[in-house]
Amino acid sequence: MMKKMCSLLVLFVLAFPLATLAQTFPQYGKPVDIPIQLSATFGELRPNHLHAGLDIRTQGVEGKKVFAVADGYISRIGVSPYGYGNVLYITHYDGFTTVYAHLQRFSGEVAKYVKHYQYEHKKFTSQIYPDKDKFPVKKGDVIAYSGNSGGSGGPHLHFEIRHTASEKPVNPMFFGYKITDNTRPLIQGVSLYPLGEESTLEGGKEPMYLSVNEGKNGVYSLKEREYVHGNGDIAFGIRTFDQVGTSTNKNGPYLYELYLDDELAFQVEADSFSYSETRYVNSLLDYRHHKEKKTSYVRTETDPNNKLHMIKKKNGTVRVEEGDTVNVRFKISDYVGNISSISFKLVGTAPVEVEPPMHRRSEYFVKADGSMNSDITIEAFSVSMEKNTFFRDEWVQTGQRDAKGCCSRIYRFGDEGMTTFKKFTVRLRPNEEWASDSRLYIASIDRNGKVTSLGGKMQNGCLEVKTFTMGEYTIKVDSVAPTVKASNFKDGQAVSTLKSLRFKISDDMTGIETYDIYLDDVWVLGQYDAKNALLYYEFDEKMKKGTNNVKVVVTDGVGNKKTGKWKVVY
């Protein structure tokens, strides 16, 4: 009966805006025994994803004890050179699961269990789902030690809380964590966007990006102006960040609000979201401006295919005509209620005749609902899109040109300032002389000429890949094997004073695909730190007294192989 009541409570909580019912969430213990200082907040808007937890500082070092915040059991263990790195999931009995990521190592019995699994399956990267009774934990148990593994950019603990049934991350601040924070969010700029072919700002069609002045008590104003002239349908944007307590990191605010003539028109609240929604952030942000200028503005226009649940109000556009005046006010809040705001006026002017955009024959109008131009073919190149690949209907530029040093022509589909919600399929047919070569890959070429491998598999005479990347594509051949070098020892060296053998491994084209270490032809566990291009073997019972033959075999994305061999004395 108690379990049923608990489940009903969780469902009731998640049926309503989470911030209004924060007091009904279970109150958890701290995952670390040091003061909690944040380097990232929940729901931060980042290109391509939303931040799903709190990043807790660990005083610049690894190895801090990590504690279970409530009773439960370890339901999942992950090991990867990317993403969350070493990660633990604890399922609790109240309907929530906590996640502890970028760990240095796991605690005793868990560490042994993971290592046994890796040896049994002869692989480093692992996703393990222990039986419910295997690793029960009590609140306060040491479960791991903090680190910098996976895609982490520095020592910290990524701490996450998910609703167990839906796996939706929930803002951990609802669970009783108190952080001293007297710092208001900072506003860095405001943007305006004319929508449609007839709308204008200051007589032109281009978006406007305006600088701001900070006044007293977090009240900002536009720099050198009090109003903006416009006509037609207009949307807005804001560039802002929050600093939590004494942190100097540019964190995400908790609440974004736009008021038009004192009526709430647009609102984003960092309460909860689904992992299936995370790429909606590219529609919420001014994606093109971010790609070009490396600054982020939150747009108040909600695209038709943006279903992000963090957007609570979606009326962030206004129509102005000559004689109209609209009072525009942004209000930005952090979790503890510190507020900053900026106000200005949008003044309607007479319509201005502007030249409509000219669309060339090489442009395709792609309907987001899949009803028009969802499949495009240009000679040896084609693109296929599912319904709702784009956030809105788009004009997409295509083209082709000759290429030196490539195995096909260079083809264009849009540009890198465009973004999609779903992956789409790109197919290229290689030039005839390369048709049977197994080392081919599809390459993306950015505006600066940088080449990035997208991979690809041969299907019916074409190289095919699913990707989010728009812009230029071609086919290249990867004929160069990876590099493998001993890092902390030399051939024939006595290594009894060392704790591990370390190797630098890298590949400049299609990337590292597999990596294996052998002692006297017996596979041993090699741990891969991708961001530092480091592969290492920590000495265990497999290292025998006397001379050991060491072999490292590394392959890249198209199967090129490099083998390194050494002898060491232990």
Instruction: Tell me whether residue 357 is in a domain.
Output: no
Burial of 170 from C-beta contacts in 10 A (0-12 / 13-18 / 19+): buried
pLDDT (mean) for 470-486 = 98
Nearest to 258 by CA among 279, 238, 285: 238
| 277 vs 15, more confident | 277
Give yes or no: residues 65 and 169 share one domain: yes
Domain CATH code at residue 68: 2.70.70.10
pLDDT digits (tens, 9 = 90+) for 384-411: 999 999 999 999 999 999 999 999 999 9
- Out of 175, 209, 234, a domain closes at 175
Give the pLDDT band (50/70/90) at residue 569.
Answer: very high
Q: How far apart are CA 243 and CA 84, in angstroms?
A: 24
Instruction: Tell me whether residue 153 is in a domain.
Output: yes
pLDDT of amino acid 364: 97
Give yes or no: residues 458 and 534 share one domain: no
Share the mean pLDDT of the chain.
94
Give yes or no: residues 140 and 246 share one domain: no
Asked if residue 6 has pLDDT above 90, the reply is no
Give yes or no: residues 203 and 329 share one domain: yes
pLDDT (mean) for 548-559 = 98
Give yes or no: residues 472 and 550 share one domain: no
pLDDT (mean) for 76-84 = 98
Asked if residue 489 has pLDDT above 50, the reply is yes
Give yes or no: residues 94 and 220 share one domain: no
pLDDT digits (tens, 9 = 90+) for 315-337: 999 999 999 999 999 999 999 99
Nearest to 470 by CA among 376, 341, 549, 350: 376
> Which residue is it, tokens 């074409």?
462
Asked if residue 474 has pLDDT above 70, the reply is yes
Give the pLDDT band (50/70/90) at residue 22.
Answer: very low
pLDDT digits (tens, 9 = 90+) for 135-194: 999 999 999 999 999 999 999 999 999 999 999 999 999 999 999 899 999 999 999 999
Q: How far apart are CA 36 and CA 58, in angstroms?
A: 9
Give the pLDDT band (50/70/90) at residue 483.
Answer: very high
What's the structural domain count of the chain? 4
Domain CATH code at residue 447: 2.60.220.30
pLDDT digits (tens, 9 = 90+) for 287-308: 999 999 999 999 999 999 999 9
Asked if residue 16 has pLDDT above 80, the reply is no
- Out of 448, 477, 506, a domain closes at 477
pTM given for the model = 0.93
Domain CATH code at residue 547: 2.60.40.1220
Give yes or no: residues 342 and 302 share one domain: yes
Give yes or no: residues 473 and 489 share one domain: no
Instruction: Tell me whether residue 218 is in a domain.
Output: yes
Instruction: Tell me whether residue 358 is in a domain.
Output: no
Instruction: Tell me whether residue 89 is in a domain.
Output: yes
pLDDT digits (tens, 9 = 90+) for 113-133: 999 999 999 999 999 999 999
Give yes or no: residues 460 and 495 share one domain: no
pLDDT digits (tens, 9 = 90+) for 228-282: 999 999 999 999 999 987 778 899 999 999 999 999 999 999 999 999 999 999 9
pLDDT digits (tens, 9 = 90+) for 348-370: 999 998 888 888 889 999 999 99
Q: Which domain holds residue 388?
A: 363-477
- 3-class DSSP state of 50: strand
Asked if residue 383 has pLDDT above 60, the reply is yes
Instruction: Tell me whether residue 88 is in a domain.
Output: yes
- Out of 322, 348, 374, a domain closes at 348
Give yes or no: residues 139 and 231 share one domain: no
pLDDT of amino acid 358: 85
Asked if residue 8 has pLDDT above 70, the reply is no
Q: Are strands 375-378 and 311-314 parallel, antiparallel or unpaired?
A: unpaired
290-389-451 Cα angle (round to 5): 55
Instruction: Tell me whether residue 268 is in a domain.
Output: yes
Share of the chain above pLDDT 70, in %: 96
Give yes or no: residues 331 and 385 share one domain: no
pLDDT (mean) for 543-551 = 97
Instruction: Tell me whether residue 243 is in a domain.
Output: yes
Integer-rounded Cα radius of gyration of the chain: 27
Cα-Cα-Cα-Cα torsion 310, 313, 317, 320, nearest 10 degrees, comes to -160
Nearest to 124 by CA among 78, 76, 79: 79
Give yes or no: residues 251 and 170 share one domain: no
pLDDT of amino acid 19: 45
